[in-house]
A and B are shown apart, each in its own frame.
Chain A
Amino acid sequence: MLEKSADLVLGNGRIYTMNRKQPWASHVAVKGGRIVAIGDAASVAAFTGGSTRSVDLKGAMLMPGVVDVHAHLMMGGQAELFELRYASTSSFETIVEKVREKAASTKPGSWIIGGQWGSDLHGKLNSLEALAQLDAAAQGRPVMLRDDSYHNRWVNSEAMRLAGITRDTPDPDQGSIGRDPATGAPTGLMIESASGLVESVIANSGYYTEEMDRAAMAQSISTLNSYGVTAFLDAAAMQPILAALKGLDDRGELTAWSVSAMPAVEPSFMFGIAGDQLIALKEQYRSAHAKPDFVKVFLDGVPGAKTAAFHEPYATDPILGCCFRGSTLVTVPDLIRWVGKCEKLGLAVKIHCAGDAAVSQALDAIDVVRSFNGPTRLIHHIAHASYIAPGDIPRFAELGVAADLSPFLWYPTSFLEGHKQAMGVERALRFWPNKQLLAAGALLAGGSDWPVMPNPDPWNGIEGLVTRQNPTGEFAGEALWPEEAIDVATALEIFTINSARAIGLGETIGSIEIGKSADFIELDRNVLEIPADEIADIKVMTTWFEGRVVYERT
């Protein structure tokens, strides 16, 4: 029957479907970008016709494309294409040396933008001596270096001059400028919203052109595809991002499902319209694979900079004193209004909560909304569900809230070192209670928070979920809260079907089932059969998006 002929049949594979009712298969047939049959050779035989292209998987493992529940594509692509890169474990000296090398190839007067320095360098960078070394390396060029959380910046004197930052510049709301304790002179360390003082100068200078934006998005998506990612949620989608996604989809060049979270207020690291003004434009940026279905609310900052909101105080600090707990950026009633408004508009809310008090407040607000509004099909996210008061763990499932597990910090990292300094070792180590959340029935969804993770390789994250040890070999022999490790099969679900459900596409992607999008990845080994510490070495051989090859390893 000609009309039944599939476009593509993948056969002789070890196909792990993520469908618990039929976990394994050997053959899958695709027509019009959708899965039409899954099973053994006999299951697809009826769909194989003259026009069907057959691919012999030769026993290779095939699984659904990975879904990244939290990434920042524009920044990821920009970082990859246009910026100075160095590891977040780089020493102060290495960073200064990298700037010196970059300055040699950068026109005088042009910006040097780079990242990401480790949160453990906050203290070192916050001094006039460090600033003098950065100035010397840059030889007059303005420099802005982002940290590993993407919330804070280290800039040089020329950058501060262009931004008009002097010792008389007051700290902005919800941010602070690092200062020399003796003279009050700015050190170049820009905390939270102070980053915007410099970022906005760069944005307004026309440094990033539309052409660069477009290239950055295209680059980001092809990077995602190379790691096997075929769907993502852009976690702070400003207008240029929405426009680029829609533009790419209109041209048939969007090779992943994209869900966008529009910021409720202008974030400290991106510029342009936000909130109601941006949300009002959502339908004009909607297309088959571009779905502006979320709103992003930043409820607090990050632990390393002591801007995350905690129930217990941070370690005593000469400036913040003995009892500083951080604070939230949005009140509970305002958060309630936002969630209520978004639900009316059919939008889910992704709430950034880095500290346990922020998590509690977000859950409180959602509890109020549920109490008045009753059940909803929308799934709100707590990002990044990492420091959580024990009593809050069951509330995720009770309230139908997804735990956005991102970035991949569930093993020892430079972030963790920064957290230890900020709040003491014992508390810092109670980070990512993934197994407890799972046992409590929460929907756990995996994400990279790229470029907070310098690349969005989910296999690094999946290995880390299983081992709680750093897959790169850094911090060798150390494990973070190993009791919270989870098994491989669950980790795979977290990065596929669970993330798909969390972003509202559970009926379309995330598993290999009839009717779903033909988004597959072929792996160089069987992830379920290898030692856990090899998972991060997995290579994606081929990525299919809607039945089309969008990446092939060469």
Chain B
Amino acid sequence: MNEPDPTGGLVPVTILTGFLGSGKTTLLNRLLKEPSLAGAAVIVNEFGEIGLDHLLIEASEEQFQLLDNGCVCCTVRGDLVETLKTLRRRAAAGELPPLSRVVIETTGLADPAPILHTLIAEQELAGRYRVAGVITTVDAVNGPATLERHAEAAKQVAVADRLIITKADLVDGWTVDALQHRLAALAPAAERYLVADAALETLLDAETPGREDRIAAWFDKAVQSVQDHECGPACDHHDHDHGHHHDHGHHHGIQSYSFVIDEPVEWAAFATWLDYIAALKGEDLLRLKGLVCIAGDLERPLVLHGVQHVFHPPTRLGSWPSPDRRTRLVFIVRDIAREVIERTLVKFAGVRPAGAKAPERHAA
């Protein structure tokens, strides 16, 4: 906590999501009791499951309410962008306590991707706030059925950095294991915790700038676990009728996969490819994270983070965070076949992901 601030003074924003009744409000209430959360602002959608119990003072006309523990709670009445701008302005003017972090609790049905998208794309916000991660709660009792029935629930899981399993004490261990397996298939790169085991004081910071060792660890783990849940070469990726015996994470068309590229990447061609995929598949590109080795600057990899058709300006690391200097790309997508990414990477970015076929002849 006393290290120099590598975040450029940006206020971290954590998105807390989870389907109706999955326990996210309970989790939020517990988080708000943490001393480290003093000075946090909590944004809840007024149509959401507002249930901040005793922490909430009597309902008032005021959009911003000071909670007992010093947190600010506000409801989104207009749009999120305006709320975040106002919050910042009023904190700066001294009308609200200084802003240390923001937690956005979405409604149960919300798609978190547009919120991430807003935080990255809105220029004024991008200069003030940074995405600290997406936390999704899944309850062990209803979660499996909810994931089966609701595409929104599957998407909430797919985009999560951290998955918190709630109500595990109400079911047997086998059920929890099955759910864990299912979550791992949908979001192989996400960290999973039982709510009882989650370390609340660090839960909100899935992404911490300046901790390059963590970035490396994340990619190592993500690529490994995505591969563990991917189909082999013989697997038919076009089979969408939910094979019951093997779970490939084809939930509502959502899947994740990763690519490892041995050769350094020509940035101009790769950026063109990013432009193309954002233009044509942005809506279905739920998240893309990349650690990219650039030809001409081999010592300083780029970190990419994209949500739908918007990409963070890539961050250049001062050095490689681990001995593995290969480019790694992790995708969470809806209805984009792995072959499409592979084929277009070969064709337009001029790279050959490990295991990809030789480039097909491209008509002149």
Contacts and interface: CB of A to CB of B under 8 A. Distances in A.
A342 to B, nearest CB: 12
Interface stretch (A124-132, A332-340, A531-539): A332-340
Contacts of A369: 280
A205 interface: no
A372 B363 contact: no
Contact of B364 (A333, A340, A374, A391): A391
B279 A340 contact: yes
A368 B276 CA distance: 7
A180 interface: no
Interface stretch (B50-58, B66-74, B343-351): B343-351
A373 interface: yes
Nearest to A395: B363
B279 A336 contact: yes
A373 B364 CA distance: 20
Interface residues of A, number: 16
B275 A372 contact: no
Contacts of A39: none
Interface in B268-282: 272, 275-277, 279-281
A371 B363 contact: no
A371 B348 contact: yes
A372 B281 contact: yes
A372 B364 contact: no
A340 to B, nearest CB: 4
A478 interface: no
Interface residues of B, number: 14
B343 A333 contact: no
B234 interface: no
A395 B363 CA distance: 7
B338 to A, nearest CB: 13
B364 A371 contact: no
Give chain B's interface secondary structure class.
helix
Contacts of B281: 372
Nearest to B336: A372
A313 interface: no
Interface string A395-422: 1001000000000000000000000000
Nearest to B275: A333
Most buried by A among B275, B277, B344, B364: B364
A373 B280 contact: yes
Give chain A's interface secondary structure class.
helix
Most buried by A among B280, B281, B364: B280
A398 B363 CA distance: 9
Contacts of A371: 340, 343-344, 347-348
A337 B364 contact: no
Nearest to B281: A372
Contacts of A337: 279-280
A167 B85 CA distance: 49
A426 B347 CA distance: 35
Contact of B276 (A333, A391, A392, A395): A333
Interface string A345-382: 00000000000000000000001110111100000000
A394 interface: yes
B284 to A, nearest CB: 10
Contacts of A392: 364
A374 B340 contact: yes
Most buried by B among A371, A391, A392: A371
B48 to A, nearest CB: 30
Contacts of A391: 363-364
A69 B71 CA distance: 66
A356 to B, nearest CB: 13
B363 A394 contact: yes
A56 to B, nearest CB: 53
Contacts of B343: 371
B280 A340 contact: yes
Interface string B279-308: 111000000000000000000000000000
A392 B363 CA distance: 8
Interface string B100-136: 0000000000000000000000000000000000000
A369 B344 CA distance: 10
Interface in B310-364: 340, 343-344, 347-348, 363-364
Nearest to B276: A368
A392 B276 CA distance: 21
A349 to B, nearest CB: 14
Nearest to A333: B275
A333 B281 CA distance: 13
Nearest to B272: A333
A336 B277 CA distance: 10
A394 B363 CA distance: 8
A367 B347 CA distance: 10
A398 B348 CA distance: 18
Nearest to B347: A371
Most buried by B among A372, A395, A398: A372
B346 to A, nearest CB: 10
A392 B362 CA distance: 12
A455 to B, nearest CB: 38
A371 B343 CA distance: 8
A91 B276 CA distance: 50
B280 A368 contact: yes
Interface in B122-161: none
Nearest to A398: B363
A392 B277 CA distance: 24
A490 B39 CA distance: 77
Contacts of A394: 363
Nearest to A389: B364
Contacts of B363: 367, 391, 394-395, 398
A336 B340 contact: no
A337 B276 CA distance: 8
Interface string B162-176: 000000000000000
Given A394-B363, A395-B363, A398-B363, A333 B344 contact: no
A369 B348 CA distance: 12
B350 to A, nearest CB: 13
A337 B282 CA distance: 11
A368 B348 contact: yes
B33 to A, nearest CB: 47
A374 B281 CA distance: 12
A316 B340 CA distance: 45
A333 B279 contact: yes
Interface string B228-272: 000000000000000000000000000000000000000000001
22 contacts: A333-B272, A333-B275, A333-B276, A333-B279, A336-B276, A336-B279, A336-B280, A337-B279, A340-B280, A367-B363, A368-B280, A371-B340, A371-B343, A371-B344, A371-B347, A371-B348, A372-B280, A374-B340, A391-B363, A392-B364, A395-B364, A398-B363
Given A333-B272, A395-B364, 5 more contacts: A337-B280, A371-B347, A374-B340, A391-B363, A391-B364
Interface of B: 272, 275-277, 279-281, 340, 343-344, 347-348, 363-364
